Each structure stands twice: as C-alpha cells, then as structure tokens.
Structure 1
Amino acid sequence: MVRAAVLPAVGAPLRIAEIELPEPGPGQVRVRLAAAGVCHSDLSLSDGTLRQPVPAVLGHEGAGTVTAVGEGVDRVAPGDRVVLNWAPSCGTCHFCGLGEPWLCAASGAAATTPYARLAHGGDELYPGLGTAVFAEETVVAADAALPLPEGVPLTEAALLGCAVLTGYGAVHHSARVRPGESVAVHGIGGVGLAALQAARIAGADTIVAVDVSPEKEPLARAAGATEFVLADDTTAKRVRELTDGHGADVALECAGRADAIRTAWSATRRGGRTTVVGIGGREQQVTFTALELFYFGRTLSGCVYGNSDPAKDLPVIAEHVRAGRFDLSAMVTGRIGLDGIPEAFAAMTAGRGGRSLVVFPGA
C-alpha cells in the first residue's frame, strides 16, 4: 500500500488515500518518489480543461529511485535515480520519423490505461499524464524513466520532468534565442522561471519578465530578468519602451491565457517570434487582423513540452545545473506534503509563487 492524492472525479477535491500498486510487468519499472512538482497542467486535468480518465492519481513532474524492474528492462536497474518523462516517444510514428518526438502520436496512451487501484479491492485508477507522481510510489513504462545525470540533487530534479524541459526547450528549441536578442517572458510561474534562466544562458541581452503579481519581481530578477513589467493594458507599450521602441525579438507566453497571448504578440517587434508555451482552454479565443499579420511579419508558433527530446536534453541541462548556471532550487517557493496540493492549486490560480514541490518522507 502507498499513499496518493486521488482525483475521484473531474472537478472534485483531491483526497489522500491508500492505493495498491502492482509489481512491474514486462517493460515496466517501479519508482519510489523523492519529490513531485505541482504543475498548472495538473490543475487543468483536475478541472477538465485537459482530458483525463478518472478516478486518477495526478502528477507528472517527478523524480525518484527505481525499486523494481519488470522482464526485459535493461536501461535502468533497482537503485538507479531517475526523472520521469510524462511524454515518452514511440520512435516509430509519423512525427517521431520527422524528428519531432514531442509530438509523438502514442505519447499519451499510458494515461488512458488503468495502472493501480484503490486499497482493499477498490476502483481502478488511471495515471495522470501516464506517470501519477502524486503518490509515494508509481509504476511506469521503462522508457518513461530517464537516468538522472550525476551531480543533480534528486529532490529538485523533479522539476526537470516538466517545467525545466519546457522552459529551457521553449527558449533553445522553439524560439531559438540568439546571443544579444531581447526576450519577454509573460507569466512567471514554474515554466516562466525556467524560461528566464534559459534566456540568460542563451545570452539574451534585455530580458523582460511580465506577470500580474508584483510579488513575482524578486523571483524573476533572481532568475535572470533585467526588467519587470506588471501585466496590464499598457504592457505591450512598456515592453517596447524597454527594447528601444521596437518590441522584443522573442516573446514567450507561459500563462495559457488569450489576453496574455495577444499581449505577447503585440509586444514582439516586427519580424520577431512569439511562442505560446502555456496551455489554454478551448474557450480561450485569440484574434488578429489580416493586415497586422502581413504588416508585422511576426512568427506565431505553439510549443509542446519545449519541443524537447528529454533523453538528449537532460544531460545538457544537468551540465548547466552542475556548473551553477541553472539554479533549480530558486524555482521552488513551497515544499509541501501530499495534503498541500489543493493549496498549491489555489496559489497557482491566484498567481502566487513559483513552483510548489511535494517532498516525500525520506527524500
């Protein structure tokens, strides 16, 4: 039996319950979690913005230690420290063949397959985004457990599983920020903080952080922001003023809101790049005129999981961590237990803090 935060139904409160995990089957591994980050995507799964079969154990950003492996697993062994990859690629679908593993057609299959059940023969449970890390232990496919490079603290390594790969990848893979460029990051949560650090690593000159909360300014500046702008009706104008009147070369929208996307677009210079990183709902509509699309010559693109290949990117990011260029601990503004997740959801909704980290006993 292990303890987990269970979502009994879409829109229902999480409840702490004991669950029964099976032994890992062929191609599977069992992992004892050290920590799990609370991501906005977990909130979106709980309220129905993103689809997730229920009842479910949410959580997809985690790191821990392998305790058992199933038949045929040779890439990791008991005792290995791993980061969980919530979107492992199959390597054979159309998108994988194009070298775009972040768009893998099969990456979401695990989330729709029951993996455990409530204690004492209770209901079957589904794993949130295939990983279910809001629990003391989980069972995942072996290709979802990536070896953690040496020199990275296991607890903070949980952030590598989503926020860091997404923010780092958005800067280096999607927007392809170049040295000397100006960057505006809209939305300073976990992903936004990672994007600010990545922009600094990429050599960006002016780095503008934009958020609705003035309390985010110290966090943003510590992550690398050279300027901070409070989000309001004058945001785009303020960003242009801070970038010699032109607008940012690159704008990254990390909030997943229509108004923030529109503002990021308007704050981007002619010929610049606007990258949408945040996940918005279907009801969030963004409008552009045909004339402005022609006149400004900007590029607007979506970004899934930072357009990252986790197996290749983790060692690169780990080297930045070891060298002190990327500070994982600076992203964490709360260390909580499983029962603190609802408050972490509330804090995200209210725009407070950076990343909340569930830290498990013994970590």
Structure 2
Amino acid sequence: MRIRAAVLRRSPIQRPFGANKPLSIETVELDPPGPNEVLIKIAAAGLCHSDLSVINGDRPRQTPMVLGHECSGVVEEPGPGVTDLKRGDRVVMSFLPTCGHCLSCMDGRAQMCEPGHAANGAGTLLGGERRFHCDDGAEPYHHSGVSAFAEYAVISRRSIVKIEEDISMVDAALFGCAVMTGVGTVVNTCKVKLGETVAVVGLGGVGLSSILGAVASGASRVVAIDLAQDKLDLARELGATDTYLASDPDIVEQVRSSLKGGVDHAIEMAGSVKAFDLAYKITKRGGKTATAGLAAPGSQIVIPPVHLVGEERSIHGSYMGGCVPPRDIPRFMSLYLNGRLPVNRLLSGTGPLDGINEAFDLLDQGKVVRHVITF
C-alpha cells in the first residue's frame, strides 16, 4: 500500500531542523504484514530525544530510516500466524520486540531480549525484514522495530501490547516510551519503597514520568533537578517536594544538606555525563544511582571505586524501565485511570506529520515535554 512517512535520508543534520528538513515527508510503498507481523494504522506518535539523537548524530543509525518509536494505533490487518489480535483492536507499541524464548526473556528480563536488541541494531523487524520501499529504490530501515512517523506501519506482534483501557490514543502513545521508561525505572530498577527519597536529574518526558512514578510509589521526598525553571515548576505541580536548578554551583551541598546526606535513589534522565555525575554526588551512603539517559556512545564516567565499597553504593542502568511491556503498560494505565499517574500533564501539544521538523526544533530547544504527531 502507498502511505506517507517521514524519512530520515542522512545523519547528522545540523540545526535548525525546520529550515534544514532532516525528515522528508514522502509517499512510500509499505509491504503487507508477513508471518507474526501486524499492519497498524498509527494514531499518535510522540517525539522523543531518542529520535532526536539519531537526527543530530549522537546515536548513529542506518539511513535512510523511518523514525518514531513511541506510539499508539489500531490494528488494520493481522499477518499470518497472528490469532490474538483482530482488526480494530487498540494497541500501544514497545520500542523493543521481545521474543519470549531467549534466556533474558525467560528470566523475566524482557528489556534485555537478545534477538530484539539484534533486530533493533540492524534496523529491521524481529524477523529480519524491512517493509518500506521508496520510489527511488531505497529501502528505509525501521527505528526500534516501530517506525511510527508514518500513516501505517508493519510491526512485529512481539512489539505490540493490546490495550483495553478507555484512554485517548494521544495519552496512550506516551506509555510506549516516556511512561514505561520513567515509571519503570522507579518501580522496577530502583524498587522505591514507601517513605524513601528520590531525586530525578533531567526533566524531559521520561524524567517527569519518573517524578510521577516516585510520587505514586509513596516517596517521602521527591527532588526534581533541571536547567529550565519551567520544567521545575511543572515537576512541582506533579508532586515534587523539592526543586533545584542544575546550574546552581552549590546544588550538591544544598541537596545533601536538605536530605541529610543525600537521597536513597538518584535517577539520571538527561543523557549526559554531567547529569550522571550530579546524580551520583547527591546519592547518600548505601544509596542507588540509576541512569536511563542515553549519553553519546563515546561518553565516559569516572567513579572512585572506594565509594562503591566504603559507602556500599550501587549504580544501575535501566533500559525500557526494566519493563515487561504486556505486564507493565496495563498496570501503569490503570494507575493513570485511577488518577494516580497523571500522564496527560506531560503533553505539550499535538500537530500534523507535515510539521514534524519544526516540532523537533522545539524539543531540541527544551520548549516541549512531549509533542505528539496525530494522524
């Protein structure tokens, strides 16, 4: 079938994106779904820094590529072998397909699925296929097995979570990345307990989702840290008890003094070495520093080993929030519907596919939390 899609022809692309047009809106051919694949009509797709990092070259990927990995949609056509989904089913996509049978999946660590990571690295669907074809003969790669910046997408069944909840498709899209990663890091990776203290460094969509997760988990103090005052203000509205500008030269001393030695859990969500260093320094003795921010591949951190031993400190990476998508996305949606996880507050605005380059300028400039493309 013929569809419209936003194709990244090359990377890196310099700013401003509105002028340089890294994403070209093209009419491309989309194959029908193969075995264990599903044709999805995309309803809403969020713009994320993981997409931005491919455009600006921080995370090199194959090109041409159809970006977009955080989305909701409706089943248009189940492929051969797909018997548990039907036309009209409402779904959310996970940005990592989980095979269900590798050692990681069988161990309950779907976020470490070996075939899933291999497929994402190769820019293909889980079975190794590429389903887009451009008129000039190019065959765009898939982004994170989803490629949501398109009217339709063929997606592995193993990337799809059916949703029963009565929720808008725009809000539902946020659960595919921002909410799953942010809330999941709090509840799955850090396992925050009632009354513990949490700090989040970097308040994009994922970081603010962590704020929501910490509040929902019953943290006694929730510390929000960012370079932008408007994001600190929003964090306060979402339940943060303490806010600090990351540019404050005395921030480490202030946090450690206010929190009596630091926080139990410090979560870095900015994708930068400076942000991780700050998170580590405000973690108390015996505490946990977690990072779900994706810094540039060449970035390095320096940690004195004596801290890890003498202070029994721990460092944890968190990919996809440590989530099992079919388990956690419905759980998080239930919290949202019960008023305990106001995910809709993360939405900055919506817009058409034709305005996607300008929308990435807003994301790059920190002027939006989550902008969602609607179809």
For Structure 1 versus Structure 2, the TM-score category normalised by the shorter chain is over 0.9
Instruction: Tell me if 1:7 matches 2:16.
Output: no
Task: Judge conservation of contact 2:59–2:297 (CA < 8 Å) in 1.
Answer: no
Query: What letter corresponds to residue 101 of structure 1 in structure 2?
Result: A
Deviations 1:110-130 (A, max 9, x none): 523422112x46311111111
Match of 1:48 among 43, 57, 60: 57
> How far, CA to CA, are the matches of 2:216 and 2:297 in structure 1?
34
The worse-fitting range, judged by mean Cα deviation, of 28-37 and 286-295 is 286-295
Task: Judge conservation of contact 1:213–1:352 (CA < 8 Å) in 2.
Answer: no
Cα RMSD over matched residues?
1.5
Following TM superposition, by how much is the alpha carbon of 1:315 offset from its aligned partner in structure 2, in angstroms? 1.6
The worse-fitting range, judged by mean Cα deviation, of 338-347 and 139-148 is 338-347
> How far, CA to CA, are the matches of 2:157 and 2:136 in structure 1?
26
Task: Judge conservation of contact 1:249–1:269 (CA < 8 Å) in 2.
Answer: yes
The worse-fitting range, judged by mean Cα deviation, of 69-78 and 337-346 is 337-346
Task: Judge conservation of contact 2:46–2:173 (CA < 8 Å) in 1.
Answer: yes
Query: What letter corresponds to residue 17 of structure 1 in structure 2?
Result: E
Q: How do 1:150-165 and structure 2 match up within 5 A?
A: 150-165=165-180
Alignment partner, residue 257 of structure 2: 241
> How far, CA to CA, are the matches of 2:196 and 2:161 in structure 1?
33
> How far, CA to CA, are the matches of 1:149 and 1:236 in structure 2?
44
Task: Judge conservation of contact 2:307–2:313 (CA < 8 Å) in 1.
Answer: no
Match of 2:72 among 60, 63, 79: 63
Alignment partner, residue 27 of structure 1: 36
> How far, CA to CA, are the matches of 1:19 and 1:155 in structure 2?
25
In the alignment of these two chains, the number of paired residues is: 358
Task: Judge conservation of contact 1:116–1:125 (CA < 8 Å) in 2.
Answer: yes
Deviations 1:321-360 (A, max 9, x none): 1111111210011212223333333333333331111111
> How far, CA to CA, are the matches of 1:234 and 1:189 in structure 2?
23
Instruction: Tell me if 1:190 matches 2:205.
Output: yes
Alignment partner, residue 76 of structure 1: 85
Instruction: Tell me if 1:91 matches 2:92.
Output: no
Match of 2:332 among 317, 320, 332: 317
Match of 2:182 among 167, 178, 186: 167
Deviations 1:210-256 (A, max 9, x none): 0011121222112221111000232222222331x211111010011
Task: Judge conservation of contact 1:75–1:142 (CA < 8 Å) in 2.
Answer: no
TM normalised by structure 1 equals 0.95
Alignment partner, residue 18 of structure 2: none
> How far, CA to CA, are the matches of 1:265 and 1:314 in structure 2?
29
> How far, CA to CA, are the matches of 1:69 and 1:200 in structure 2?
39
Task: Judge conservation of contact 2:165–2:334 (CA < 8 Å) in 1.
Answer: no
Gaps of 5+ in 1: none
Following TM superposition, by how much is the alpha carbon of 1:277 offset from its aligned partner in structure 2, in angstroms? 1.0
> How far, CA to CA, are the matches of 2:140 and 2:167 in structure 1?
32
- Describe the shift of the 1:184–1:54 C-alpha distance in structure 2 as closer, same or farther (beyond 3 A): same
Task: Judge conservation of contact 2:352–2:373 (CA < 8 Å) in 1.
Answer: yes
Alignment partner, residue 279 of structure 2: 264
Following TM superposition, by how much is the alpha carbon of 1:75 offset from its aligned partner in structure 2, in angstroms? 1.7
Match of 1:115 among 98, 123, 131: 131
TM normalised by structure 2 equals 0.92
Task: Judge conservation of contact 1:184–1:239 (CA < 8 Å) in 2.
Answer: no
Following TM superposition, by how much is the alpha carbon of 1:279 offset from its aligned partner in structure 2, in angstroms? 0.4
> How far, CA to CA, are the matches of 2:287 and 2:365 in structure 1?
31
Query: What letter corresponds to residue 65 of structure 1 in structure 2?
Result: V
Gaps of 5+ in 2: 14-21
Query: Percent same amino acid among aligned pairs?
Result: 37
